[in-house]
Amino acid sequence: GPWGLPRASPGPDSPRLSPMAGNAKSPAPVVARQEQDKKARCGWQGGARVWEETEPQTKKLKSCEDGEPHRKPPKRKIVLLLAYSGKGYHGMQRNVGSSQFKTIEDELVSALVRAGCIPESHGEDMKKMSFQRCARTDKGVSAAGQVVSLKVRLIDDILAKINSHLPSHIRILGLKRVTGGFNSKKKCDGRTYFYMLPTFAFAHRDHDVQDETYRLSAETLRQVNQLLARYKGTHNFHNFTSQKWPWEPSAQRYILDMFCEAPFERDSMEFAVIKVKGQSFMTHQIRKMVGLVVAIVKGYAPEDVLERSWGEAKVDVPKAPGLGLVLERVHFERYNRRYGNDGLHEPLDWVQEEAEVTAFKEQHIYPTIVNTERHERSMAQWLSTLPMHDFSATAQAAASSGAKVPSPQEGDGHSD
């Protein structure tokens, strides 16, 4: 002490001084002791940190015992070129939760899951894989160039594995990588369909034979093409679909081209192919466009019904059978101009797959149309219903018959 006497240790009753009242270094041992307690709680031993929860590290080491850890194939946005014969299916679009009506997408999703391209949960909820189709083809309608976009795992030999789980009348003919935000329906700026029908559909009801012996004359073919050409341009097609008011903007459709090719024979029956290209089509629109021209050529409807059908009045337009309708090609012209030559993406033109597309049509689509027409006579039966149509029907007549009022919520189907 300052007087040369030994300091006495403070007893239990001795007053304790605050750090401000005495030596400022007095709390150092306390701080050190608190730091040691903190390190002990965090798992430090001898200056090295020891984790209390070691299970995640153990799992990581276990996965590497036999070498490289297993990695799932990366998920990428792609498009698939799809061809199918639609006979026996209730259209393209899948009806989730309904096993009664089988669709093309039911077969496709099942094959994608079984091939390991998507997990089963994505098959149940197709939004999880960003699935979108270019066209929602109707019941019995086939396709030689349908395109769907989706995210999949890029497994090895992906096309062969998917096709191994598909029936022979449904085939994936091509695959291409696309941009991450690609949507096949929104990016598609044109669709080409063809309608294959026996030429006796154009036989005049009064002075032509009405059976398979009929052969299409050059004069009748010119008449058919003159009528089809009148569809070109923008028109109001509210009479060519269901539940669509004439003042709805979506009733306006732009047709780029429509014509009938020269006839040809298959199994002693003469057929012709009508081709139509447009930006998009409503449900049943193409079949009604074909049906009205057939009714005019056969003499059941006057030519002026074509102009009246684009007006506001309700016109009774017959709907041709779905058997002969085929989605031939979808177009991505704007997408190709922007991304087709950027060095990162391929143009969506399917030139290299053209031979496979032609082979599929020859093997599955044309024979199905010919054989079904020969045995089931769908066109002949439909032609017999044409006299029942009233091509002068008005909006008032349709309203008095109890026609269903369209809902404003029902929008564009982009299908036929």
Mean pLDDT across 364-377: 95
Q: How many helices (H) and strands (E) does the chain have?
A: 14, 12
pLDDT digits (tens, 9 = 90+) for 270-324: 999 999 999 999 999 999 999 999 999 999 999 999 999 999 999 999 999 999 9
Q: What domains appear along the chain, each with residue ranges and CATH number?
A: 75-186 (3.30.70.580), 190-330+366-388 (3.30.70.660)
Q: Can you tell me the distance from the alpha carbon of 107 to that of 97, in angstroms, rounded to the nearest whole number?
A: 14
* Between 75 and 42, residue with greater pLDDT: 75
pLDDT band at 338 (very low <50, low <70, confident <90, very high): very high
Instruction: Let me know if 129 is exposed, middle or buried by CB neighbors in 10 A (0-12, 13-18, 19+).
Output: buried
Average predicted confidence (pLDDT) for the chain: 83
* Number of neighbouring beta carbons within 10 Å of residue 1: 7
pLDDT digits (tens, 9 = 90+) for 237-275: 999 999 899 999 999 999 999 999 999 999 999 999 999
Q: pTM of the prediction? A: 0.78
**Which residue bears the tokens 């899948």?**
94
Tokens for 332, please give them.
Answer: 């991505």
Tokens for 131, please give them.
Answer: 């699935």
Residue 392 has pLDDT above 60, yes or no: yes
Return phi, psi of residue 415, to 5°: -150, 170
Tokens for 302, please give them.
Answer: 């006057």
Mean pLDDT across 35-51: 51
Q: Can you tell me the distance from the alpha carbon of 224 to that of 297, in angstroms, rounded to the nearest whole number?
A: 7
Tokens for 161, please give them.
Answer: 């594995």
Residue type, 162: I
Q: Can you tell me the distance from the alpha carbon of 120 to that of 53, in angstroms, rounded to the nearest whole number?
A: 33
Candidate from 173-187, 204-218, 392-406 with smallest mean pLDDT: 392-406
SS3 131: coil
* Between 25 and 81, residue with greater pLDDT: 81
Task: Give the H or E element holding residue 408.
Answer: none
* Number of neighbouring beta carbons within 10 Å of residue 412: 16
pLDDT digits (tens, 9 = 90+) for 85-106: 999 999 999 887 666 789 999 9
Mean pLDDT across 218-235: 98
Positions marked catalytic: 138
Residue 382 has pLDDT above 70, yes or no: yes
* Between 71 and 27, residue with greater pLDDT: 71
Please report the pLDDT score of residue 345 as a whole number.
86
What's the half-sphere exposure (Cβ side, CA atoms, 13 Å) at 104?
27
> Residue 361 in contact with residue 368, Cβ under 8 Å?
no
Mean pLDDT across 98-127: 89
Q: Can you tell me the distance from the alpha carbon of 407 to that of 182, in angstroms, rounded to the nearest whole number?
A: 30
Phi-psi region of 284 (alpha: psi -120 to 50; beta: other; left: phi over 0): left
Residue 152 has pLDDT above 80, yes or no: yes
- 193 annotated ligand-binding residue: yes
Mean pLDDT across 106-122: 92
> Residue 304 in contact with residue 230, Cβ under 8 Å?
no
